Every structure is written in structure tokens, then in C-alpha cells.
Amino acid sequence: MKVVGYVRVSTQDQAEGGISLAAQRQKLEQYAELFELDLVAIVEDAGASAKSLQRDGLQHALSLLDNREAEGLLVAKLDRLTRSVKDLGTLLDSHFRGDFSLLSVADKIDTSTAAGRLVLNVLASVSEWEREAIGERTSAALRHKQSQGEHVGSPALGQDMKNGVLVDNPDEASVLDRIAELRKEGLTYRAISDALTEEGHRTKRGGNWNPGTVQRYVKRMGA
């Protein structure tokens, strides 16, 4: 069988734990050699999220199937392809219920068989359930912190977080004073943002000011 390999990482920190692009490539090559598959190409998506199927590498790999240059898609693990049951169903309906096969090394899946398709659907459902459960636990933990009076999220301009407690940042507080001063002079948000940038002041993240950011701080201060 001619197959096209597909590898993906979403962020640089995923280069660890055996899911780097190089590690995935090696697994695909070893699998293809073991099962005597003709690996015609390995397509990659570096720094791409699995939240959408609209990835350049994935779309190219699927086009190789559509053009009959390969008969199957080979991945190191199912989550390299997608983490969504909905997107998985889309792929199954569009490509892997008929002429083409989907093969996953780690999950031992081959959709050329009915059993392989069943296992694939079960694994995808469990994966989505796990992700949603983690999200629910995280939300519950944040709500608990808020109920205890703890700050949740990044500190705003004029404050820093130390040992879980918000403390004043005098240097940044002076920028807030400058915003209030310029606003009292009747300057527009655009004029204030231009003035702050010209004076060398930076936002909390170190960037230049824009009218929207100025407006948020003005409303927060009630200036």
C-alpha cells in the first residue's frame, strides 16, 4: 500500500516527550518498513494547532490521497491528526470510510477494517471527554480561587504578582497617572496613545500603546 505520512507539533515545548517532528518521522518510517508500506512522502505541520483541519500540511496530505498518489494516511498518533470528534467524523466521511485507509502507529488503528473504524471512534470520544473534563476542573478551580479572594489572571498595569498576592508597581503606576493627566487635558484616546509611545512608555507586555488599550485603562480608573 502506498501511504503518505503526516506529522504535527503545535508548540516548541512539544518537542519533548517523543512527539517532536523528528521522533514522529522515525516512527512512521519504522512502521512502514515493518509492514512493507510504500511511504511516498511525509508532510508536516510545524506549530499548528489540531483545533482545525485547515492546516497547510494536512490539506496537502489529503490532496495526495485525492490525486491517487497514495492509498492511505499514516500518523504516529491519532492526536497528531485531530483532537476533535467532529473533525474526525468529517475526515472519516470525506476520506476514510471508502477508498483510503487511516493508520495510526501508537493507537494500532487501521480503518481498512470495520474493527479499526470502531476503535478509532471510541478512542476519539474518550479523548474529547478527557479534554472537556480537564476544562471543567480548571474552571471549577478558578471559581474557587475567586471565591477566596485570590486574583485570577495576569496583573494589570500598575501591579505585579508576588507569592500569589497583588502588589503595587510604582513605575507602572506613574504611567497610569500620566494617562489620567492627559485625559484631564482633553486628549483623545488616540492622542494619549501617541503621547505615551513618544515618551517611551510601554504597555504591561512591553508593546506600544493603542487607543483601545488606553480606553480600557481610562474606564478602569474612572478618569
Provide the annotated active-site residues: 10
**Residue listed under C-alpha cell 501508537:** 106
DSSP string, 5-74: EEEEESSGGGGSTT-SHHHHHHHHHHHHHHTT-EEEEEEEEET--TT-S--HHHHHHHHHHHTTS-SEEE
Which residues, in sequence order, are CB contacts of 165 under 8 Å at separation 6+? 151
Calculate the alpha carbon distances from 119 to 8, 71, 82, 103 in Å. 22, 20, 15, 12
Q: Which positions ≥6 away from 14 have C-beta within 8 Å?
A: 20
* 97's grid cell: 470510510
Residue 73, beta-bridge partner list: 4, 102
Burial class (CB within 10 angstroms; exposed 0-12, middle 13-18, buried 19+) of 89: middle
Of the candidates 152, 221, 150, the one whose C-alpha atom is nearest the C-alpha of residue 213 is: 221
Q: What is the C-alpha separation between 99 and 63, in angstroms, rounded? A: 14
